[in-house]
Amino acid sequence: MNPLIDGLQYANWSEKIFRQMREGCVDGIHVTITYHESFRETVLQIERWNRWFERFPDLIFQGFTAEDVAKARDTGRTAIFFGSQNPSCIEDDIGLVEVLHRLGLRFMQLTYNNQSLLATGCYEAEDMGLTRMGREVVAEMNRVGLVVDMSHSGERSTLDAIEHSTRPIAITHANPHSWHPALRNKSETVLRALAESGGMLGFSVYPHHLKGGSGCPLESFCAMIARTAELMGVERIGIGTDLCQDQPDSVVEWMRVGRWTKKVDYGEGSAAAPGFPPMPDWFRDNRDFGRIAEGLRKVGMSEAEVAAVMGDNWLRFMAESFGPMANG
């Protein structure tokens, strides 16, 4: 049986959602545990997850290696892999990269929309690329086995990361800019470079990233995946839903505003509706992954290609990425 892996979720976690994961037979999920939180605040989020692991051991457990996906499948549970959507968790201390990896962090974005100490976010007018610290942190992430994620980064910074990283990077949740021109979606230049370097793209179902928003048809989404497979190679793509299930609208404000401004930053949504948009009717929660798989079959993808997109590719990437470098 092939694995089912989601490259990114940020839900308002609960027993209900954990049970939906099992109903959907989801074997592994990269979950966001931190945005603008400091190191200590990130540790508190890990403590929070530890309590969930204690309370629901029959549903979830913390994943550290790719082998944990098979363990999850064999035991009827879901492996949870930690990630950060901003480098705030390492503050200005490169030593915290290794510390957080030992605590289970497996993905870290170098930016979240804005300029960071490491790189430039996709909302900035000027993209300066990787900073001096950014190059050092990427090298350290490569050494310990912490995946470089450029989902919210600007074009030059993303290309810099692909070039500078000695290990393949990921864009865990984004779509092609040519399909829908959201600031967060990626150009063909980036997608080609990502594929040529052995990296991974996770397709997002977050409505602001979809052509047609919440009303995007499943057929359009799946046809886009099939076209991207032709551009990048089917082995370089997966799903990264960016599912934010049951989150209150106040969480959107934290995601976009953090502590960097006193104003409300509306991001890619309408200024009149800064909260979470409705999900498309074909993907409400973790029980709906089968609809995506069926949609991929309907646009002409083979069973092997569907299996690759739904989890096989992420599993291979995890196996290659989560451990230290041979000389690390």
SS (H, E, C) 25-38: CCCEEEEEEECCCC
Q: Which domain holds residue 236?
A: 5-89+171-321
For the domain that residue 54 is a member of, what is the CATH number? 3.20.20.140
Note the pLDDT tens digit of each residue in 52-78.
999 999 999 999 999 999 999 999 999
In this predicted structure, the answer to whether residue 32 has a pLDDT above a threshold of 50 is yes
Position 275 confidence tier, pLDDT thresholds 50, 70, 90: confident
Phi and psi based region of residue 212 (left: phi greater than 0; alpha: psi -120 to 50; beta: remaining): left
148 vs 276, higher pLDDT: 148
Tokens representing 185 are: 């979606």
In the beta sheet, which residues pair with residue 203?
239
Please indicate, yes or no, if residue 204 is contained in any of the structural domains: yes
Any domain includes 301: yes
DSSP state of 149: E
Structure confidence by residue, pLDDT tens digits, 169-194: 999 999 999 999 999 999 999 999 99
C-alpha to C-alpha distance for 161 and 88, rounded to whole angstroms? 18
User: Which string of DSSP letters, residue by residue, matches 35-78?
Assistant: SS--HHHHHHHHHHHHHHHHH-TTTEEE--STHHHHHHHHHT-E
Report how many domains make up the chain.
1
Q: Kindly indicate the confidence band of residue 256, based on its pLDDT and cuts at 50, 70 and 90.
A: confident
Is 60 exceeded by the pLDDT of residue 166? Answer: yes
> Which tokens hold the place of 29?
């999920």
Q: Give a yes or no: residue 166 inside a domain.
A: no
pLDDT of residue 268: 58
Q: Is residue 147 part of a domain?
A: no
Mean pLDDT of 201-208: 97
pLDDT band at 16 (very low <50, low <70, confident <90, very high): very high
**pLDDT mean across residues, the chain:** 95
pLDDT for res 130: 98
pLDDT at 254: 87
Contact 277, 269 (CB under 8 A): yes
Note whether residue 326 is domain-resident: no
What pLDDT is stored for residue 129 in this prediction? 98
In one-letter notation, the amino acid at residue 22 is R
**Quick one: pLDDT at residue 274?**
61
For 315, half-sphere exposure in the C-beta direction (CA atoms, 13 angstrom radius) is 21
**Which is more confidently placed, 275 or 269?**
275
Give dist(CA 264, CA 312) in Å, integer. 40
pLDDT in tens, 295-310: 999 999 999 999 999 9
List alpha helices for the chain, DSSP H: 15-23, 39-55, 67-75, 95-103, 132-144, 155-164, 188-196, 218-232, 249-257, 289-298, 303-307, 313-321
User: What pLDDT sits at residue 271?
Assistant: 46
In a domain? residue 195: yes
pLDDT score recorded for residue 270: 44
Helix, strand and coil in the chain, % to nearest 5:
45, 15, 40
Q: Considering the domain boundaries, does residue 124 fall inside one?
A: no
Q: List the Cα angle 251/274/288 in 5-degree steps.
A: 65
pLDDT band at 203 (very low <50, low <70, confident <90, very high): very high
Q: Quick count: other Cβ atoms within 10 Å of Cβ 272?
A: 6
Are 140 and 113 a contacting pair, CB within 8 Å? no
Contacts 24+ apart (CB under 8 A), 180-187: 180/209, 180/210, 180/211, 182/208, 182/209, 182/268, 183/122, 183/123, 183/268, 184/122, 184/151, 184/152, 184/208, 184/209, 184/268, 185/209, 186/155, 186/158, 187/155
> Which residue is it, tokens 């968790």?
89
Element counts in the chain: helices (H) and strands (E): 12, 9
Domain for residue 107, yes or no? no
pTM: predicted TM-score of the whole model, two decimal places = 0.96
**pLDDT tier for residue 267 given thresholds of 50, 70 and 90:** low
CB 212 within 8 A of CB 220: yes
